[in-house]
A = this chain, B = another copy of it.
Amino acid sequence: MSKLVIVGTVAFDTIATPFGKTDKILGGAAIFIGLAASQFDIDGAIVSVVGGDFPKEYIKMLQNKGLDVTGLDIVESGKTFFWSGKYHNDMNTRDTLVTELNVLADFKPKVPEFYKDAEVVMLGNLHPMVQLSVIEQIPVRPKLVVLDTMNFWMDNALKELLQVIAKVDVITINDEEARQLTGEYSLVVAAKKIMTMGPKYVVIKKGEHGALLFYDDEVFYAPALPLEVVFDPTGAGDTFAGGFTGYITKTKDYSYENLKKAIIYGSTLASFCVEKFGTERMLEITEKEIHQRLRQFKSLTQFDIELI
C-alpha cells in the first residue's frame, strides 16, 4: 500500500454554532485529514503532538481506523492544544474565542522511519518552519507534497511561508488568502501567480461555493454539495484535504486528470463532515454512503451538450 504522511494539529475544540455548543471534543487538522484519508486503502501516519490529558481511547480510535500514531508525540507533562470558536448565523464566518497552544508551542515533528519513503505528504496548517522540517526529514522526494496554510502565516511568517511554498507540488488555500498572497483579485490570475512561486497545482477553496483546481492553463471546479443543514463547518477544509490526498495516495496517479477525481472525493467527504459537530459524522460514514454521495455529485454537475 502507498504511504501518506499527515502533519498537523491534534486539538481539543469547543464549538458554538446557531444549533448548539459542545464540550471539549476531538479536533485539529491532522485528525480531520486522517479520518478522511483513512477511508482509502492506504498506510497513513499522523505526525503531531498531544499532552498527557489526551484520552487513550482517542489514540485507540485512530489506530482502529488504520492510522499509524508512532509519530504522535505524547508530552505527559503538557496539555493538548485547545481551540474555541463561535460561528456566526451565516456559518461562513466565525470568531476565535480562545487559542491555547500548549504542547504545540514546542512541537518538533518526527516522521517515523517506516514513513520516510512516503509517496504523499500532507502538510496541514502549521507554522511554515514546522512544515519545512517535515519536508527535510524525508530523504527521497515524495511523489506529491501538498501544503495547506492560512492568512495568519502570511501576516506573521511570510518569508518562511514562501520558502515552503517553493518546495511543494500542491497548495490548498482559500479564496481570500489567494488574493492576499498575490495581491490579485481574479482567482485565475492569483492561481497563475502562485504557480510561479513553486506549486504545479493550486487548489482554491471557496467554502460553501466549492473548490477550484488550477493546473497550467486548465481549471477544474468541484462544487460543494448543496445541503439542507450545515451543522458545524469545523474541519471541512481539512477533511477535503484528507479525501484529496487519501484518494491520490491510493491511486498512485499524480496526473491532472486524477487530481480532478481527488477533488471530487475531497468535496464528498467534506459534505459529511459538516453534518454533525466535530468528527462525529466522520466516525460513522460507510462506503455505501460515500458512493451514494458521489452519485449525487455526478447528477449535480454532469450535463450532456453535444459540441460541434
Contact = CB atoms under 8 A, between A and B. Distances in A.
A201 to B, nearest CB: 15
Contacts of A209: 206, 209-210
B220 A299 contact: yes
Interface string A270-302: 000000000000000000000100110011111
A229 B186 contact: yes
Contacts of A305: 261, 264-265, 294, 298
Nearest to A288: B308
Chain A interface extent, by class: 35 or more
Contacts of A91: 185
Interface in A216-267: 218-221, 223, 226-230, 257, 260-261, 264-265
Nearest to A265: B305
Contacts of A210: 209, 223
A187 interface: yes
A189 interface: yes
A304 interface: yes
Contacts of A96: none
Contacts of A218: 299
Contacts of A264: 303, 305
A301 B301 contact: yes
Contact of A227 (B186, B206, B301, B304): B186
Given A206-B209, A220-B299, A304 B226 contact: no
Interface string A173-188: 0000000000001111
A221 B212 contact: no
A89 interface: yes
B187 A226 contact: yes
Contacts of A90: 185
A105 interface: no
List the 4 shortest-distance A-B pairs measured between CB atoms, nearest first: A209-B209, A221-B223, A188-B228, A301-B301
